[in-house]
Amino acid sequence: MKPEKTLESNVRSILELLGEDPEREGLKDTPKRNARALQFLTSGYQADFDKIVGRGVFQQDSSDIVIVRDIELFSLCEHHLLPFFGKAHVAYIPNGKIIGLSKIPRIVDAYARRLQVQERLTSQISNHLMELLKPQGVAVIIESLHLCMMMRGVEKQSSTTVTSSMLGVFRDDARSRQELLSLLGGLGSTHGGRR
């Protein structure tokens, strides 16, 4: 059986276990829609990073901080299969190579579209860019709201989770880290430590 058909069948079973009638009008196509949604939301497992980056890495003499901030991201918490969403801020200091700016959000999406925990997502993005570009440093900061905390459990509506991964000079050089946090503005007071 194809994965989509198996997912549909399982969603139908879940609806029945919840006491619903999967044949009623509002739910009749829900298993199919949910199967497609889940396949999209976890499409990062099939991500081909060579295709994502393509010819988007260029030789360039530059040693100034490059930041792509406020990258919207949506992911599924692997503990409850509920969404978490927010923004990623990605920075690096080149060391002879730069990457096309649109490639950074594509890399974020490829890792976010998996079952995730925010801590691992943050590290995966920073490690990938460090390996790909071999820059002087990479920093990734993610701020997210988690529906598993908002809709259930502690039910805290305004709790934001912030994670950071500082590699290279952003980890080892306080001045570089402070310059980055100053450029990001308003984020600096909570991101001085290592992650």
Catalytic residue among 116, 118, 124, 136: 118
CA distance 179 to 188: 9
* 78 is a catalytic site residue: yes
Catalytic residue among 8, 77, 124, 136: 77
- Catalytic-labelled residue, pool 39, 80, 119, 179: 80
Nearest CA to 4 out of 41, 35, 42 is that of 35
Q: Catalytic residue at 116?
A: no
Q: How many helices (H) and strands (E) does the chain have?
A: 8, 7
Q: Which of 89, 128, 146, 191 is catalytic?
A: 146
Q: With beta carbons less than 8 A apart as the criterion, state whether 148 and 31 touch.
A: no
Look up 79 and say whether it is catalytic: yes
Q: Which of 4, 20, 39, 148 is catalytic?
A: 148
Cα 100 from Cα 77, distance rounded (Å): 29
Catalytic residue from among 79, 89, 131, 178 = 79
| Of 101, 131, 135, 126, the residue nearest 191 (C-alpha) | 126
What is the Cα gyration radius of the chain?
20
Verify whether residue 191 is a known catalytic residue.
no
Clarify whether 89 is annotated catalytic.
Answer: no
Annotated catalytic, 124? Answer: no
Give me the active site residues, please. Answer: 77-80, 118, 146, 148
